[in-house]
Structure 1
Amino acid sequence: MMMPARLNSIAARIAVAIVLAIVLGLLAAIGLSLVVSYYGYAQSGADDGARTHVMISKSNFAVINSRGNAMMLSGRIAVIIRSVASVPRSRQQSIVAGVAEPDMQVSLDAPARSDTVTGVDENLDRLRELVQIQLETMSPPIRVSARRVSVDDQGPGGPDHSNQTSGGAAVIEAALPDGRRITVTIANYPMGAGYGLILLLISIVVVAGLVSAWTARRLAAPIREFASAAERLGTDLTAPPLTLRGPQELRATIEAVNRMQLRLQRFLEDRTQMLAAISHDLRSPLARLRLRAELVADGEQQRKMFDDLEAMNAMIESTLAFAHDNARQEPRTLVDLGVLVGDVCEDVEDAGGKVSYSERRGIDVPCRPTLVRRAVANLIDNAVKYGGHARVNIVHHTDRVVIIVDDDGPGIPSEEQEKVFAPFYRREPARDPAKAGVGLGLSIARTVAREHGGDVTLKNRDGGGLSALIELPA
């Protein structure tokens, strides 16, 4: 099922990831709150009356802990103080006895305790302020104080299982209008601001981080594939079109690249066919010129004309051969480059050339074998023709393979080392009838190497001679 374009955009995916992170973070916070409340309160003080309640209605969802919720606890304390203060002195003790609970001890005129715990206690101060606010409407006003005291192992509420983490008992005292003092003691009341906000923040950060990482991987995967396919397209126009996947923006980019690839393929096919057609059509006038040259009486002029005709015919044959190899669209296969270069060296030796090869095997390279063979043969032929002897070696690096062809010739000046790659360009010393060439060898070799993602470079050797290097990606 295809997603609508707007919902499949990068912006929509990021928005969905943000909303999902917030929702999952809140759910995780609720879950952690339930777990901490259960194990932190219900398990450590199962008999103290503190329980966690989950309240669900059509419009609300809440997780409430009677011990940890300062608003609820302050309301209970304020109601107790109001109730005791509003009845005659003779009935106050009975009300105190009736409101006593396991987690909250209430007493009148209790003796002062000397085991007060000093230090800043934000949670207890907040509880005192909430109780004070709820008693401000009484007349005369009732002043409320709060302090924390240590809890004995056999104190109110039974054994203390969390003395080290709760910080002791909270004591809320209030002076009644009749002069009596009421004391409310909450055993094991937690210190600090509580874990609710901390759990919420931690949950949102952790879940948002996980969702962000997952979203980033989902977004980056098709982009990485697109980059890899685009790199492959730069070295192989015959590669299959890129697969449409990912966000809408990336799909539009992939479609544009596929259209560009198709146009480039058609352009190269048209150029190759045109070049082959021109070269083929030139054969007829060349044949007529040869016939007319036969009628020339001057032997010297006739020889020069035949030489020019042979040179033109060699150019046409080279062009047609290259166009034919390129038009075949030979598929790329995994080839042992060492064996391929060895076969080329043997062919040159069979033709009478002097070649030495440091044979290497097991260098597998994906390539179009016929074109690579032609490029290597061109470099070796040039080395034999202009240097008398070709020495061939293969250097295998991590990411590339370099075929080095050395000769003992005069070399090429550095300012002309790029010019010789132009089609039909020949340096003046090379125009020796004994070393006839058409000026396409280096041009074809570089074209083949670059089509495979490599290159051909030249450099003069320190001891004399020239090194031709054809580089291919491994």
Structure 2
Amino acid sequence: MTPGMKRFRDLSLTAQLVLIVAAALFAAQAVNFALLLRETRALAESRSVEPAAVRLLMESGRAGFAGERHRRERLRQPRPQPPETRPGERRLPRIEASIAERLQAAGAPARGVRAFVRRWERHGREEHVLIAAASFDSEEWVVTRARAPLPAGPLAARLVLQTLIIFAVTLLPLMLFARRSGRTLKRLSGAARTFRGRSDSAPLTPEGAADIRALTEEFNAMRARIAAMMAEKDQMLGAIGHDLRTPLASLRIRAEAVEDDDERQAMIASIEDMHGDLEDILLLARAGRADPDISPLALSQLVDDLAAEQRRTGRDVSVEGTVADDIFVRANTASLRRALRNLIDNAVLYGGSARILVTQERDEIRIAVQDDGPGIGKADLERAADPFVRLESSRNRQTGGSGLGLAIARQVASAHGGRLDLSNRSEGGLSAAIILPKA
């Protein structure tokens, strides 16, 4: 695809429609302009050529009549040399060829023809006249004058004005219609972008043309079906979670009764791992949906509490710099806390420590958790946040974890209208950042 086509594809519907119709109108008007200008120019030249040819025939005595009246109309007696053009004047080859054709058709072929336009003072005002000269059998030149061809400037100006009027009459209604349809499509796009699987979103009002209204109605119906399926999924997950927690709790109670300490501890650890994996899976399944309990959240308090909580467990977690008190995001506190806790767990597990850095970039807030670990290979950065992915080297099953920490963080960020960004730091280690819109 050429760069021009790519730029055209990236334009809005309104811009594409206007450009296509404008290009078609321009092409049609260009053809019309060329044809009309050609015909008008030919007519104007004919109105000058015919009189000039007749007068040359009369002046030379070859018109079949040459009385005293016509002799008085001669500009001057035949001359041995053709008239010369003055500065600013130029010969007209097309006019000369047309006059020669007329003379040839009248049975008086000319050995040479000269024609040019000259300014002529008449009754105190300036006029433009056509000076025509022809040489017949002798070496002398016969000279006469006739009406000069009309310039194409006024006609061109009228055609340009006509084109502008056509453009205005055609494109303005088209732009209004296209903008109306474009607004409806933009509303559909915005609703699809902000839809998070809940049924509390108001349906869009169908507007515009019939097919646009049908599209809106189908979108509303599709969104209702998705919301119903998501609600059914949540009910199913709740039932599954309840049904699995009960036997796990029973197994935990029975494990406590095992007399052998090593066996008891191994059984309890396995049960705890199963319980943790179950909670992670259920949380991942629900993390992609927007929580209704979303409100402006001050990040300074959140990151300070997280760092203090981690330090109380003996972990090396700190907050770099001072987080301004006026940095807010719209988020569910529990979900965002869980996502950041997962990033901190990974940083401490693989790097030994974690640093939380909050920065503001335009209309976005970046909450980065940095470590000094081995980082992630470039080939694995894209899939590192996929569910159940455990990377090679130090990030494998022997180090623990279910492979859902980053996946949950990404789902939480997406549910809040943001994203998860993973990158290797130039000085070593990984930077895992949740980027959210500023409240």
TM range (shorter): 0.5 to 0.7
Read off the aligned partner of 1:277 and give its amino acid letter: A
Matched, 1:107 2:61: no
| Structure 2 counterpart of 1:359, from 322, 326, 332 | 322
Question: 2:6 matched to which residue of 1?
Answer: none
Indicate conservation of the 8 Å contact 1:379/1:445, yes or no: yes
| Structure 1 counterpart of 2:25, from 4, 20, 24 | 20
- After TM superposition, list the pairs within 5 Å mapping 1:433-444 onto structure 2: 440-444=404-408
- Cα 1:293–1:108 change in 2 (3 A) is closer
Indicate conservation of the 8 Å contact 1:420/1:442, yes or no: yes
| Structure 2 counterpart of 1:284, from 227, 246, 250 | 246
Separation in 2, partners of 1:254, 1:169: 69
Question: Taking structure 1 as the reference length, what is the TM-score of the superposition?
Answer: 0.57
- After TM superposition, list the pairs within 5 Å mapping 1:189-200 onto structure 2: 189=148
| Structure 2 counterpart of 1:393, from 350, 353, 357 | 357
Structure 1 residues 283-305: Cα deviation after superposition (integer angstroms, max 9, x where no partner): 232244345446x4624344543
Question: 1:117 matched to which residue of 2?
Answer: 85
- Cα 1:70–1:374 change in 2 (3 A) is same
Separation in 2, partners of 1:467, 1:86: 102
- After TM superposition, list the pairs within 5 Å mapping 1:142-161 onto structure 2: 143=110, 145-147=112-114, 157-158=122-123, 161=126
- Cα 1:176–1:216 change in 2 (3 A) is farther
Separation in 1, partners of 2:14, 2:427: 59
- Cα 1:190–1:276 change in 2 (3 A) is same
Give unmatched runs, 5+ long, in structure 2: 1-12
- Please, which moves more after superposition, 319-328 or 373-382? 319-328
Question: 1:470 matched to which residue of 2?
Answer: 433
The SS at the match of 1:470 is strand
- Cα 1:63–1:120 change in 2 (3 A) is same
Question: 1:130 matched to which residue of 2?
Answer: 98
Give unmatched runs, 5+ long, in structure 1: 1-7, 34-61, 98-105, 432-436
- After TM superposition, list the pairs within 5 Å mapping 1:260-271 onto structure 2: none
The SS at the match of 1:379 is helix
- Cα 1:459–1:173 change in 2 (3 A) is closer
Indicate conservation of the 8 Å contact 1:393/1:405, yes or no: yes
The SS at the match of 1:298 is coil
Indicate conservation of the 8 Å contact 2:196/2:289, yes or no: no
Question: 1:170 matched to which residue of 2?
Answer: 131
Q: Shift of the alpha carbon at 1:71?
A: 0.5
Q: Shift of the alpha carbon at 1:107?
A: 0.9
The SS at the match of 2:77 is coil
- After TM superposition, list the pairs within 5 Å mapping 1:232-271 onto structure 2: 237=196
Separation in 2, partners of 1:119, 1:211: 46
| Structure 1 counterpart of 2:267, from 299, 302, 305 | 305
- Please, which moves more after superposition, 270-279 or 418-427? 418-427
- After TM superposition, list the pairs within 5 Å mapping 1:403-422 onto structure 2: 403-406=367-370, 422=387
The SS at the match of 1:282 is helix
- After TM superposition, list the pairs within 5 Å mapping 1:83-94 onto structure 2: 85=62, 89=66, 92-94=67-69
Question: 1:447 matched to which residue of 2?
Answer: 411
Separation in 1, partners of 2:333, 2:91: 80
Read off the aligned partner of 2:369 and give its amino acid letter: V
| Structure 1 counterpart of 2:422, from 440, 453, 457 | 457
Read off the aligned partner of 2:259 and give its amino acid letter: D
Indicate conservation of the 8 Å contact 1:273/1:323, yes or no: no
Structure 1 residues 152-211: Cα deviation after superposition (integer angstroms, max 9, x where no partner): 8xx66355747xxx7x8513347699xx98642247x479x9669987998999999999
Question: 1:49 matched to which residue of 2?
Answer: none
Separation in 1, partners of 2:228, 2:133: 89
Separation in 1, partners of 2:369, 2:17: 56
Question: Taking structure 2 as the reference length, what is the TM-score of the superposition?
Answer: 0.60
- After TM superposition, list the pairs within 5 Å mapping 1:371-386 onto structure 2: 371-383=335-347
Separation in 2, partners of 1:413, 1:87: 104
- After TM superposition, list the pairs within 5 Å mapping 1:330-341 onto structure 2: 330=292, 337-338=299-300, 340-341=302-303
Provide the identity percentage.
23
Indicate conservation of the 8 Å contact 2:112/2:136, yes or no: no
The SS at the match of 1:405 is strand
Q: Shift of the alpha carbon at 1:376?
A: 1.0
Q: Shift of the alpha carbon at 1:457?
A: 3.2
- Cα 1:230–1:372 change in 2 (3 A) is farther
Matched, 1:185 2:141: no
Q: Shift of the alpha carbon at 1:375?
A: 0.8
Read off the aligned partner of 1:185 and give its amino acid letter: R
Indicate conservation of the 8 Å contact 1:460/1:467, yes or no: yes
Separation in 1, partners of 2:352, 2:24: 74
- Cα 1:238–1:374 change in 2 (3 A) is same
Root-mean-square deviation over aligned CA pairs:
6.4
Structure 1 residues 204-246: Cα deviation after superposition (integer angstroms, max 9, x where no partner): 9999999999999998998999799879967965598999999
Separation in 2, partners of 1:247, 1:27: 33
Indicate conservation of the 8 Å contact 2:295/2:331, yes or no: yes
Separation in 1, partners of 2:386, 2:255: 33
- Cα 1:269–1:412 change in 2 (3 A) is farther
Read off the aligned partner of 1:130 and give its amino acid letter: S
Separation in 1, partners of 2:45, 2:304: 87
Separation in 2, partners of 1:339, 1:229: 37
Separation in 2, partners of 1:78, 1:386: 101
